[in-house]
Amino acid sequence: MSADPGQMREAMASFVAALHGAYLDQARHLAVGEQAGLPLLRGSHLTVLAVGVRHLHVLATTSPLPAPHGPEVEIADEVDGLTWTLRFFDPVVAPGLGGIDESDGPRPEEVRQVLGVPDVVYHLSVSPGGGLTPHHAQHAGTGLANQHAAVFRDHDTIRAHAGSRATLAEEYAVADRVGLHQTVRFLAQQLAPHDASLAAVCADPAADDSAVRRALVAALRAPAEVR
């Protein structure tokens, strides 16, 4: 027997609140400047989307969305000044989700494409049967804050070493945040055009955007004559 929809929504709301609380707790250990650079602490209202396909997707965006309609449900919540609205989507609310095949694993990019939400602050995928417990939320929120802090520091380093290519560095940071994988690779090589190690990472189909970013940071930190 499937779980009661109301109970599932309550569990999801509690999970998101605990995740955001853990994120804020971890962020307080960072320097003030780093805290200000974290996506959840920039003062924008979040919309969190709980999306049920085969896997459960939890993604947050600061992009404006139209008001709910039809069978869609939303819940407003806040923790320590961080405010968000939680909205629920499944193939009944968004029929295009029914065409996503997740039998071999989550398809976050396809989910975002169907919903038309390319710019996300975070996107978590929970496997069937995965927990929405406070422990899972604590782990996810702490890890997310650490991940965002690391990305913030990397982008700051890239900007600091970009020189006359400062505009490219800003474009790269946006592409990296949004997940424009091919644009990330193109801009990274524009920022360090003579680095063979970076070029190899960008050409590797198994390398993710984090690997490209690490290679770019290493390339820009290398002595000029090596590059």
Tens digits of per-residue pLDDT, 103-139? Answer: 999 999 899 999 999 788 999 998 877 778 888 999 9
For residue 146, the model assigns a pLDDT of: 93
More confident residue, 223 or 189: 189
pLDDT of residue 224 exceeding 80: no
Query: Do 37 and 101 belong together in one domain?
Result: yes
Query: Do 196 and 141 belong together in one domain?
Result: no
Query: Do 129 and 170 belong together in one domain?
Result: no
Query: β-strands 46-52, 82-89: how paired?
Result: parallel
- Rounded to two decimals, the pTM is 0.80
Q: Which two tokens stand for residue 87?
A: 């909205």
Query: Do 55 and 25 belong together in one domain?
Result: yes
Structural domain harbouring 205: 162-221
Domain count, the chain: 2
pLDDT of residue 227 exceeding 50: no
For residue 3, the model assigns a pLDDT of: 61
Query: Do 176 and 217 belong together in one domain?
Result: yes
Q: Is residue 226 a part of any domain in this protein?
A: no
How large is the average pLDDT for residues 212-220?
95
How large is the average pLDDT for residues 176-198?
92
pLDDT more than 70, % of the chain? 96
More confident residue, 60 or 130: 60
Choose the final residue of a domain: 121, 146, 171. Answer: 146
3-class state of residue 83 by DSSP? strand
φ/ψ of 140, rounded to 5, equals: -65, -45
Pick from 17-26, 63-72, 110-119, 156-165: least confident? 63-72
- Give the contacts of 209 (CB within 8 A, at least 6 positions apart): 176, 179, 181, 184
Q: Which residue has the tokens 């295009």?
A: 96
Query: Is the torsion defined by CA of 171, 20, 150, 52 positive or negative?
Result: negative
Q: Is residue 130 a part of any domain in this protein?
A: yes
Query: Do 37 and 138 belong together in one domain?
Result: yes
Q: Is residue 85 a part of any domain in this protein?
A: yes
pLDDT of residue 1 exceeding 50: no
pLDDT band at 159 (very low <50, low <70, confident <90, very high): very high
Q: Is residue 157 a part of any domain in this protein?
A: no
Q: Give the residue from 117, 122, 137, 127 showing the smallest Cα distance to 53.
A: 127
3-class state of residue 107 by DSSP? coil
Query: Do 101 and 206 belong together in one domain?
Result: no
One-letter amino acid identity for 108? P
pLDDT of residue 226 exceeding 50: no
Query: Do 67 and 94 belong together in one domain?
Result: yes
Query: Do 110 and 213 belong together in one domain?
Result: no
Q: Is residue 189 a part of any domain in this protein?
A: yes
Task: Report how far apart the first and last C-alpha atoms of the chain are (Å, whole number).
Answer: 61
Choose the final residue of a domain: 99, 122, 146. Answer: 146
pLDDT more than 90, % of the chain? 64
Query: Do 168 and 135 belong together in one domain?
Result: no
φ/ψ of 20, rounded to 5, equals: -65, -35
For residue 34, the model assigns a pLDDT of: 82
Q: Is residue 156 a part of any domain in this protein?
A: no
pLDDT band at 32 (very low <50, low <70, confident <90, very high): confident
pLDDT of residue 40 exceeding 70: yes
Q: Is residue 217 a part of any domain in this protein?
A: yes
Q: Is residue 64 a part of any domain in this protein?
A: yes
